[in-house]
Amino acid sequence: MQKVDAEIRRIIDQQYSLARRLLEENSDKVEAMTAALLEWETIDAEQVNDIMAGRPPRPPKPATVPPSRPKDDAPGAAPTAPAPAA
């Protein structure tokens, strides 16, 4: 069990060091993503690609909303028959 624990510890330490190094080496990109997220709340793949390429992220594309069905109580909704009495 000690060998397994030692190997797990080694793997975790190694991956932690790698993650820390990558974040430190790319702190400018992390900061750019942070700024974009603060401005727009979400960013898409194109914006991430811009940031990773060292370009300022382009503004988000307008969201496309699928047409919705009118609700029963919405103006213009087709009238519904009352429910039969029980």
pLDDT digits (tens, 9 = 90+) for 11-66: 999 999 999 999 999 999 999 999 999 999 889 999 999 999 999 999 888 777 77
Return the residue matching tokens 């993650």: 19
Predicted local confidence at residue 80, as pLDDT: 61
Domain assignment present for 66: no
Domain assignment present for 69: no
What value does the mean pLDDT take over residues 61-84? 66
Domain assignment present for 57: no
Predicted local confidence at residue 53, as pLDDT: 93
Domain assignment present for 86: no
Domain assignment present for 32: yes
Domain assignment present for 63: no
C-alpha to C-alpha distance for 42 and 60, rounded to whole angstroms: 8
User: pTM for this structure?
Assistant: 0.55
Predicted local confidence at residue 51, as pLDDT: 93
Domain assignment present for 71: no
Q: Indicate the pLDDT class of residue 75, thresholds 50, 70 and 90.
A: low
Domain count, the chain: 1
Handedness of CA 68, 72, 73, 79 (dihedral sign): positive
Domain assignment present for 18: yes
Domain enclosing residue 21, as ranges: 2-52
